[in-house]
Amino acid sequence: MPSFVIRCRKAPVRADRFLAAVGSDGHVEFIAGMITNALFISKGHRANVTLHLVFEDSADFSRILTLDGAHMGDLGGLSEQALLASCALALKGAERLGKEQRVTAPNGIVVETLSFEGLIKRQCLTSPCYLMSPKGQSLTQTRPDEAATFILTDQVPLSKNALSGLKRQGVGLLSLGRNMLFASQCLTLIHGHFDSALD
């Protein structure tokens, strides 16, 4: 039951600003591909996968949008427009949340006011955690547990301080090759690794 954490540094937490950011420097349109590749397969979805999207462009608190395959709601389809609208609906219902509060949207997306660091600390308590990096050890050679948490970022790389903080918590580095890939591509390759192990 893998979990994915994707840090989206430039994704706005307000619903209106989130939708307005499509096509801008924040590249929130990429989030639709992350959702599709993390959770969906042909004619179905992965019920044993959890995706955490950490939106950090906020005047108060970060918002973590959690999509749990075991509790998947109606996202309105798999088009980019539908998936981004589902995120916006969840964000709209979470605008008044205080620190470390959570709410579940009608479409099943859980929104929580928690920092990226707080989420990783929590994940490290229950599963091995790995940051995807070209400088890490090979995924195929390391053979991580299927219940691991895989951490990725959007187009904004982690700072040296953030990377050091992850390492102090015991987060390992895993590589999918020498090229820097899109987060959505990494999700597909990680799934492929575990799917092929079941054959």
Looking up residue 153, the CATH number of its domain turns out to be: 3.40.1280.10
Closest CA relative to residue 64, chosen from 24, 20, 119, 17: 119
Among the residues of the chain, which ranges form H helices? Answer: 15-20, 30-39, 80-92, 116-126, 139-142, 160-168, 183-197
172 phi and psi, to 5 degrees? -90, 170
What gap in Å lies between CA 28 and CA 25, rounded to an integer? 8
Question: What is residue 198's predicted lDDT score, i.e. its pLDDT?
Answer: 67
User: Apex CA 7: angle with CA 142 and CA 65, to 5°?
Assistant: 110
Closest CA relative to residue 186, chosen from 41, 59, 5: 5
pLDDT in tens for each of the 199 residues of the chain? 799 999 999 999 999 999 999 988 888 999 999 999 999 999 899 999 999 999 999 999 999 999 999 999 999 999 999 999 999 999 999 999 999 999 999 999 999 999 999 999 999 999 999 999 988 999 989 989 889 999 999 877 888 888 889 999 999 999 999 888 899 999 999 999 999 876 5
Question: What is residue 26's predicted lDDT score, i.e. its pLDDT?
Answer: 80
Alpha-carbon separation of residue 184 from 93, 153, 181 (angstroms): 26, 10, 8
Question: What is residue 190's predicted lDDT score, i.e. its pLDDT?
Answer: 95
Range of the domain at 185: 3-197
Strands (E), 13-112: 40-41, 44-45, 50-57, 63-68, 102-104, 110-112
Question: What is residue 163's predicted lDDT score, i.e. its pLDDT?
Answer: 87
Question: What is residue 199's predicted lDDT score, i.e. its pLDDT?
Answer: 59
What gap in Å lies between CA 33 and CA 13, rounded to an integer? 19
Q: How many domains does the chain have?
A: 1
